[in-house]
Amino acid sequence: MESRVIGVWAHTSRMEAVDAASEFVGGVLAVGDGSVRVAVDDRRLPDVQAKLPMVELLPLSAVETAEMLVVFGGDGTILSAAEWALPREVPLLGVNLGHVGFLAELEAHETTRLVEQVLSRDYEVEERLTVGVRVHDTAGVLKWQAFAVNEASIEKIARKHMVDVLVSVDRRPLSQWSCDGVLVCTPTGSTAYAFSAGGPVVWPDVAAIELVPLLAHALFARPMVLSPDSLVELTLGEASEDEATVVCDGRRETTIGIGDRVVVTRHPQNLRLARLKEQPFTTRLVVKFQLPIHSWRSA
């Protein structure tokens, strides 16, 4: 009999996430044929186990991989789960308990359907481009590295100071901005921080990298869409009055000084998202942002 492992990840501070996760886990183990094991994120394992004391659950840290990681929370929880799933190339399936929930696939009340489709493997997997981030000091020594599903950013630390950033693309200088920061984002991230900063929405099946300056004091400081194979370099210039911070997805960060260089390129691994139903991105965009599709005149 085939042995299957399904992973579960839940928001770390919302009890409704534990409730929804426990209902899903109970359903999977009740309907499954005994070959299915469930591994729960270690931080939430005691809470889920307390609601299901008669079943055996695994800590997620004890398994090498899983056929899927079901995530209960908002987009931020999915980004958190990506830290475990991306290097293992495990598909993520989001159950929305947040607000916008762009990455989520369905709502928490759809547990029965979720159990049925996960157990029957009735889903498709969508690939999303991610970026890799490396920080080098003035001598070229690698200081820090990470990945980003949504965006990597250089941002000012001190409210009263701007940062001075030299931006190069494919080893050629593009512009130097005094600004609040600079974003380098993926199509997935184009509906997140970059969207709020005035960047364009990029359809997720478009292979591209987006460059968005944040409140730059410059005549030319427009968002740009680059090739997915572009090499983007952001160097903290001497006109900066303070250190800056490099942040990936709002979750992983480090501090950089004058002359340090941030290199952003396409990451070799894509984020894998499980989709239970066909919902074109246009429809998702209209639903999540509540876009008007009828003119007020039509009333």
pLDDT, tens only, 140-180: 999 999 999 999 999 999 888 899 999 999 999 999 999 99
**What pLDDT, in 10s, does the model give residues 25-74?**
999 998 877 789 999 999 999 999 999 999 999 999 999 999 999 999 98
The pLDDT value given to residue 294: 82
| Distances from the Cα of 116 to the Cα of 6, 26, 32, 41, 121, angstroms | 13, 12, 10, 22, 8
Residue 299's pLDDT band, with cuts at 50, 70 and 90, is low
The pLDDT value given to residue 9: 97
Q: For this structure, is 242 an active site residue?
A: no
How far apart (Å, rounded) are the C-alpha atoms in residues 208 and 227? 5
pTM of this structure: 0.91
Average pLDDT over residues 247-274: 97
When the candidates are 2.60.200.30, 3.40.50.2300, 2.40.30.40, 3.40.190.10, the CATH number that belongs to 131-266 is 2.60.200.30
**What pLDDT, in 10s, does the model give residues 113-122?**
899 999 999 9
Sign of the torsion formed by the C-alpha atoms of 58, 61, 63 and 68: positive
Among candidate residues 41, 75, 180, 249, the one labeled active-site is 75
Domain ranges of the chain: 4-128+271-289, 131-266
pLDDT at 216 over 90: yes
Yes or no: domain 4-128+271-289 corresponds to CATH 3.40.50.10330: yes
> Could you tell me the two tokens for 148?
């980003």
One DSSP character per residue, 85-106 reads HHHHTPPEEEEE-SSS-SS--E
Please tell me what DSSP assigns to residue 192: T
Average pLDDT over residues 211-232: 96
pLDDT at 100 over 90: no
